[in-house]
Each structure stands twice: as structure tokens, then as C-alpha cells.
Amino acid sequence: MPEPVLQQAAAEMLDWHGSGMSVMEMSHRGKEFISIYEQAEADLRELLAVPAHFKILFMQGGGLAENAIVPLNLSRGGAVDFVLTGSWSQKSLKEAEKYGQAHVAASAQSEGFTHLPAPGTWQIGRNTQYVHICGNETIHGVEFHELPDLKTLGSDAPLVVDFSSHVASRAVDWSRVGLAFGGAQKNLGPAGLTLVIVREDLIGHALAHCPSAFNYQLVADNQSMYNTPPTYSIYIAGLVFQWLKQQGGIAAMEARNIAKAQLLYDFLDSSSFYVNKVAKNCRSRMNIPFFLRDESRNEAFLAGAKAANLLQLKGHKSVGGMRASLYNAMPLEGVQALVAYLREFEKTQA
Ligand SMILES: *Cc1c(COP(=O)(O)O)cnc(C)c1O
């Protein structure tokens, strides 16, 4: 979280803009909260340059719930395709299998998810209802730096993108996207809010057994208030959107994220003590997994990092090693401090 956002939230906690209420105490249908909601939506649309023919939905359930909600709304009882690039796309596939015929169009599993299968090799079904990709694999540290253009691959199917862990870190080419979804908690605000941005023509085809609260049509028709939305999370996300605008918007964030990631990758590549195994053309700017070549030093590494106030560096248990997450709110100074520690630790172990 950007610190100015937390400070503003603290200052407004008991009395939002002289309303005499905390945002938590507002009715979601009252004019105060409606104004917060409308501002947040408008700011997000501007920041991400979302075209008018896409709806922005503020939902709940996180990225994992969307793994079910997307097939319930978009599969129309037909086949759907998945490109497997790491743990998250694997999870999405598993969930979609419960709701219809889910196929693997391509997979990088046999190479340990260290590269992206080239789009030209994807086996996209002729009648597939959509193709799902994970834009940034949070655990494996693999990111699409260009979204695939399914039309050039001979498919009219919409592209579904899980952008949970890199939303608002870079621009989105909406001409290639049918639907993008993401939990807010990595780059947009606190947990509890799920963002869905969906092309209008894809709405309105939910399966009969799709829960009403998860039916995109009902959610869109009710301005994301078919049921009570996560009001406080929307408010905080709205403050983050304003902060992003003050930082110069997405282009400025993207430039900053490139610089942050470059700093860490350049150091890792120059070192024989640490290693990142992901192919250079798809290395994530947000999540950088790396290993100590001598893994018996892992615990000493983490203890020293903690003492230097560098937290949450332990890699996901499915991959092991270390992982640095450089989300939008992480300043360049944070990465500089990490690189200084990496260098220092290597020296002390020589
Ligand atoms: C964190 C994450 C999710 C899971 O989101 P929840 O909000 O915990 O359901 C899904 N996809 C990706 C890529 C993630 O990084």
C-alpha cells in the first residue's frame, strides 16, 4: 500500500469529508458512497484507458472465485482453452473443468514454467468460447510482455486474462482482450475487492445455474450493487487510483516498474551466488523468484534479510527459494536496499 493512501484513510476514518460518518458506516446506496464509487470507477477507467464498450465490475470472491465465475458466464456450455504458464493458470484450468470442457492449448510445465509457449504453437479449439491466460504468474515469475493477438492465430475467441498480480503496473491493449479480472490486494488496495473488466457483448450469456450475485449481467445492470459491494475496499482502491494519477498514471508506473525490475535482474544475472531461471523475454516485473545456488544458506539469508527490515522474501512453497514482489507501491529505494543486502550477504558467505 502507498503510505500516503494509508495516511489519508487514517485521517478520514472517523468522519469522511464532514459527513459525520466513517466510510464503513455509510449505506452503499447513499449519495456519499455513490460519489466514492463513481469517482473510483471513472479514475480507473481513465488510468487503464478502458474503452466505453467495456464494463467495469467491482465484485467479490477474489481471483479464485473468478476461476469459476468466468466459465459460468462465458463458456455457454461449450469448450474453453487454457494456456498453462504456472500455478495460477493451472488452478484456473482445474476450476473450469467443473463447469465444462476445459482444454489445454499449450503448456510450459515440462520446462518447469520458466518460459512462455510461443502463441504460434497454441492449439486453440475451433469452437472454443474463450482462451484463458494468466498475464503474470505470481509464483513462477513469468509475465506476458505482449498480449497474444488471437485473431492473428486464426481465432475469433475472446481472450480472458487473469491480471491479479500486475494490474495497473503496465498498460493493457484492450483490442486484444475480452475480459480481464483480478483481486485488488496485490496492486490496487486491500483484499475483498475483485475487479472485472469485460467487453459488453460477452455479458448476458450466463449458465442457468450461475449464482445471481456472480452473474455479470445482473452485476452490470445494478452498477455492481446487486448485492452490497465491498464498500471500504472500493474506497481504499479509489484512493490508490488517485495516488496513481498523482504519480503520473500507468505510463509513469510502468517506467518505474521497468527500472525496479531491471535493477534486480541485472544484479542477479551478474552474480554466481544467486540465480533466476526464467527466460529473459518473459521475466516478471512484479514477482522475481530467485535461488541461492547453495540452498543450505537459505535460512541465514532470510534471517539476515529480516534483520535488515527486508520482509516476505521467502519463495512460495511450491517453488522454493526466494521471491521479491515489486508491486507498484514498492519504491525504487526498496529494491536498492534489497540489492545492497544481496551483495553484502554474498560477501559474508565467501
Ligand atoms: C493472488 C492471485 C490470485 C488469487 O486471488 P484471490 O484473491 O486470493 O482469490 C489469482 N491469480 C493470480 C495471478 C494471483 O496472483
pLDDT in tens, 199-251: 999 999 999 999 999 999 999 999 999 999 999 999 999 999 999 999 999 99
Q: 294: which 3 cell numbers?
A: 547453495
Strand pairing of 322-325 and 287-292?
A: antiparallel
Q: 258: which 3 cell numbers?
A: 521497468
Can you say whether the dihedral through the CA atoms of 67, 70, 71, 73 is positive or negative? Answer: positive
pLDDT at 177: 98
Q: Residues enclosing ligand 1, CB less than 6 A? A: 62-64, 88, 134, 138, 162, 164-165, 183
Of 43, 88, 122, 260, the active-site residue reads 88
pLDDT at 100: 86
The residue contributing the CA closest to ligand 1 atom 12 is 164
Q: Is 173 a catalytic residue?
A: no
What's the CATH fold of domain 249-349?
Aspartate Aminotransferase, domain 1 (3.90.1150)
88: Cα within 13 Å, side-chain hemisphere? 26
Low-confidence ranges of the chain (pLDDT < 70): none
Q: At what angle do helices 231-246 and 31-47 cross, to 10 degrees?
A: 40
Q: Which residue has the cell 467495469?
A: 56
* Comma-separated ranges of CATH 3.40.640.10 domains in the chain: 3-246
Of ligand 1's atoms, which has the minimum distance to the CA of residue 136? 13
Of 16, 55, 186, 260, the active-site residue reads 186
Q: Is 88 a catalytic residue?
A: yes
Of ligand 1's atoms, which has the minimum distance to the CA of residue 139? 15
The residue contributing the CA closest to ligand 1 atom 13 is 164
- Cα 306 to averaged position of ligand 1 atoms, centre (Å): 25
Q: Give the three-state DSSP class for 131.
A: strand
Q: Is 243 a catalytic residue?
A: no
The residue contributing the CA closest to ligand 1 atom 10 is 63
pLDDT at 350: 74
Which CATH class for the 3-246 domain?
alpha beta
CA distances from 158 to 48, 129, 235, 248 (A): 19, 7, 31, 31
pTM: 0.97
Strand pairing of 79-84 and 101-107?
A: parallel
DSSP letter assigned to residue 167: T
* Comma-separated ranges of CATH 3.90.1150.10 domains in the chain: 249-349
CA distances from 34 to 51, 163, 234 (A): 22, 26, 11
Question: Measured between alpha carbons, how far is 237 from 219 in angstroms, rounded to an integer?
Answer: 19
Of ligand 1's atoms, which has the minimum distance to the CA of residue 183? 7
- Cα 164 to averaged position of ligand 1 atoms, centre (Å): 6
Question: Measured between alpha carbons, how far is 159 from 24 in angstroms, rounded to an integer?
Answer: 36
- Cα 138 to averaged position of ligand 1 atoms, centre (Å): 8
Which residue type, as a one-letter code, is found at position 121?
T
